[in-house]
Amino acid sequence: MTLDRITPRKTRVGLVAGGLGAYWPQFPKLLPQLQASARRVAERLSGMDCEVVDVGFVSDASEGAAAAEKLRVAGCDLIIGFLTTYLTSSMLAPVAQRSGAPVLLLNLQPTEAMDHESFDTGAWLAYCGACPLPEMANAFRRLGVEFRSVSGYLEDERAWTRIGRWIKAAGVRAAFRTGRHGLLGHLYPGMMDVSTDPTLVSGQLGGHVEILEIDDLRVRVEKVTDSETADRVALACDVFTVDESVVDEDFAWGAKVSVALDRLVEDFSLDSLAYYHRGLDGETHERVGAGFILGASLLTARGIPAVGEYELRTSLAMLLMDRLGAGGSFTELQALNFHDNVVEMGHDGPAHLGISARKPLLRGLGVYHGKRGWGVSVEFDVKHGPVTLCGLAQALDGTFSLVASEGTVVPGPLLRIGNTTSRVDFGCDPGEWTDAWSASGIAHHWALGTGHRVAELTAVADLLGLELTVVRA
């Protein structure tokens, strides 16, 4: 059996290339060369796992306006304007103003440098995409449009790395703007830091928060058949190493709830889920609430982050990290190790199985710390190597911001209590890092993902209109 990831909608990138039409009769070889460069850019973009809407080459303001209308109708997540040579700002102003999507300008000359001995004016003009860039920046600023650009040459991998970051960031923005985020149950009592107004999510990030009740899941649990439960147990046995502490009855219950969670997500078209329900004395709702961990971990591994403690902002941070290809696992501080200069962090409950350093362990628990219920929990540490923490903070005035920090997961002793625990080295005294991280405005949960991602998060923050705070060593 296999655990299949979802296939998110591809990021839709609009492309318009242009140059000043007055040049074409003066330099007959110039336009074909520039159009060939534009085709190469379209080819490279198509290889970056995005849908490219290419509206062609524009030579004057009227053609720019026509291209702007095509891009507006296309509903792009990001529009790329390729400055092949000099062109006036009036040619791209309509594109920036009408599309409703962020615009990225490219200045990619044909090669690393001109051949000064052999070049004439026509050959030079193919290299002067940098010339209009300040003009565009000034015009965009005066039009109230955010400006961003990447300069380099056509086969400059450094430039294409930066372009790739913007495309990934546009994918995150699209996931938020079109996302449906489930919020099931109620706030963990007393956790003032994780409380989030769903309207602020829609207002600042876009998308929709679907308010769910524990009974929305209970009725689906009751409809799961024994055969479906057995199939889910078999899948879990393939995905996890099942510890001898796992009680068969608890395993089967977690599998049953897992099947129901899949149906809940499908029925409500959810892209993420945050949940908590306390319950009492072993009644049905308490048992349902205690059975989330297996199913929520499987959902998270498939690209639908599901987290406990009603942590809506962290489920969004996990969605962000997942769409960047970083995974993103539910995380909090656990302890500081001053012998090894590491911060130990992780969480009980659901985790992102795709970033485990080993085959994840399913452990049986007689009790969940601080929560009612019992059952099975997930245990692993994140893949050793570079990692990034990312959380969604909220200020006094309600505005969201991103908080991030880069570190390295290193090997060493870990607790064996059914938690995901990682030893993270931030290159400094763990106490000083913890103080700086806590002072950033982060809540006590966040997403832990693989790779150093601050450069990508900088682009994400830009497109989302959020401030980014980076806590460094």
Q: CA-CA distance, 213 to 219, in Å (whole number)? A: 11
- Assess whether pLDDT exceeds 60 at residue 107: yes
Check residue 236 and give its pLDDT. Answer: 96
List pLDDT tens digits, range 337-355: 999 999 999 998 788 999 9
Which residues, at least 6 apart from 203, have a Cβ–Cβ distance to it below 8 Å?
none
Q: CA-CA distance, 295 to 254, in Å (whole number)? A: 7
Q: CA-CA distance, 378 to 246, in Å (whole number)? A: 11
- Whether the CB-CB separation of 471 and 437 falls below 8 Å is answered with yes
Half-sphere exposure of 139 (CA within 13 A, CB side): 17
- Hey, do 11-176 and 179-470 end up sharing a CATH topology, with the first three levels equal? no
- Assess whether pLDDT exceeds 60 at residue 368: no
CB atoms within 10 A of CB 154: 17
- Taking the CA atoms of 225, 229, 234 and 239 in sequence, report the sign of the dihedral they define: positive
Q: CA-CA distance, 15 to 50, in Å (whole number)? A: 12
List pLDDT tens digits, range 152-201: 999 999 999 999 999 999 999 999 999 999 999 999 999 999 999 999 99
List pLDDT tens digits, range 38-71: 999 999 999 998 999 999 999 999 999 999 999 9
Which residues, at least 6 apart from 453, have a Cβ–Cβ distance to it below 8 Å?
321, 324, 326, 388, 390, 404, 406
Check residue 413 and give its pLDDT. Answer: 92
β 327-337/446-450 pair status: antiparallel
DSSP readout, 442-470? Answer: --S-EEEEES--HHHHHHHHHHHT-EEEE
Which residues, at least 6 apart from 68, have a Cβ–Cβ distance to it below 8 Å?
94, 95, 97, 98, 99
Check residue 90 and give its pLDDT. Answer: 97
Structure tokens at 65: 């306006």
Buried b (16+ CB within 10 A) or exposed e, 190-218: eeeebebeeeebbebbebebbebebebbb
Name the H helices within 54-144.
Answer: 61-74, 93-98, 121-125, 133-143
Check residue 419 and give its pLDDT. Answer: 84
List pLDDT tens digits, range 214-252: 999 999 999 999 999 999 999 999 999 999 999 999 999
Structure tokens at 415: 């607790």
Q: CA-CA distance, 80 to 229, in Å (whole number)? A: 48
Q: Does domain 179-470 have CATH number 1.10.10?
A: no
Choices 3.40.50.10940, 3.40.50.11310, 3.40.50.720, 3.30.70.1350: CATH for 11-176: 3.40.50.10940
- Whether the CB-CB separation of 265 and 321 falls below 8 Å is answered with no
Domain range summary for the chain, segments of one domain joined by +: 11-176, 179-470
Check residue 329 and give its pLDDT. Answer: 94
